[in-house]
Structure 1
Amino acid sequence: MPTAATAGSRSAPPAAPPGAAYAVRPARREEAAELAALSRPFVRAGALRERSVPLYAVRAADFLVVRPPGGPVEGAVAVRVHPAQAGPVGVVYNFCVAGHRQGAGVGAGLLRAVLDRARAQSLGALFTATTGSGELFLRHGFAPVAAHLAPPAWTRSLDPRRGARVLARTL
């Protein structure tokens, strides 16, 4: 059963040679169907929420992706900016890496790019929710926090039946 990159699990060994560089770039609106396809196994496994292709298209600017030359999108993560009393904060969502790329540094590269983007946008903190271990986030300075510290509109959208933990990192 596939798991989200946030769960820290691995499937097949990486197909790329060790140390291969993965270019992270902003997603394009026309990649919406690929974002949905990449996310689908994680949705089925309960690690991600289902989103429609039109929603991926509308929110394409939120996403960073990894796409090898001539290949499909193999990793994606989004950050949505929310206003907050002390300045804007971000919510990291829809973080997933294709099973055959897990363990190859794709998720870590995406998360580093998210942190860089958040700093460039002068965000005060990043929040995320995970139903997995959150190992990758924890290794990058995130820590468990009370949900009430996160943007209220986002926390209201969390499904309590999923049992997700909220993690945060101050920037």
Structure 2
Amino acid sequence: MPHARPVPKPSERLPHARPVPKPSVRIARPDEAAALAALSRPFVRSGALRERPVSLYAARAADFLLLEAPDGTLDGCVGLRAYRPDAGQSTCERPGVVYNFCVAAHRQGSGAGAGLLRAVLATARAQSLDAVFTATTGGAGLFLRYGFTRTTACRAPRSWADSLDPRRNAQVLVRRW
């Protein structure tokens, strides 16, 4: 049996080995609208996100969760908007929409997107939303891993579904609990 190397006690660890500060998730402020637009811009250029004016980010700042690096850099964002039930839908169901979900290129593949998605789902549950919808032009893998399923736009809040551009060929997904 090979000799196992003992784990050093905290007092024996190297003095320069400090824990790396973790990014935090928080609600955006209206004065961060330009930063939200800048973070989203590469995804707008690629066609993954719709272009939104800075004024919309300012007006809906409270919709957005931000992934903020310890140095204050914004590394990701996601919006969550609650909707009233449409006519003909159960008045018991409170739907929401996850939108403008993006993670800066240097943070992709690091778990940052999963962390943001977990945070927005926790926020949706805290707001007593029964279902959240989203639309993606990507592969949808992250959403599917977190319990979203494919659906049709006709099941989503009408005003949001009507705003989808059919030329983008986005997949509509829903997460219920």
C-alpha distance in 1, partners of 2:78/2:72?
18
Q: Which residue of structure 2 aligns with residue 81 of structure 1?
A: 82
Q: Determine if the alignment matches structure 1 residue 56 to structure 2 residue 31.
A: no
Deviation at 1:68, TM superposition (A): 1.1
- C-alpha distance in 1 between matches for 2:159 and 2:71: 38
Shift of 1:87: 2.6
1:72 — aligned with what?
A: 73
Higher Rg of the two aligned structures? 2
Contact 2:63 2:79 in 1 (8 A): yes
User: What is the match of residue 9 of structure 2?
Assistant: none
What residue ranges of structure 1 are gaps of 5+ in the alignment? 1-18
The two structures have a TM-score, normalised by structure 2, of 0.83
Secondary structure of 1:108 counterpart: helix
State TM-score, norm by structure 1: 0.86
Secondary structure of the residue aligned to 1:74 is strand
Secondary structure of 1:122's match?
Answer: coil
Q: Which residue of 2 aligns with 1:29?
A: 30
| Larger relative contact order, structure 1 or 2 (CA cutoff 8 Å, min sep 6) | 1
Q: For residue 75 of structure 1, give the secondary structure of its aligned residue in structure 2.
A: strand
Post-superposition offset of 1:20: 6.7
Q: Percent identity?
A: 61
- Determine the C-alpha separation between the residues in 1 that align with 2:72 and 2:24: 13
Aligned to 1:164: 170
Q: Which residue of 2 aligns with 1:42?
A: 43
1:99-154 alpha-carbon deviations (Å, 9 max, x no partner) = 00001111101000011101101000010000110111000000101211100000
Q: Is the CA contact 1:22–1:109 (under 8 Å) kept in the aligned structure 2?
A: no
Matched, 1:119 2:130: no
Q: Secondary structure at the match of 2:143?
A: helix
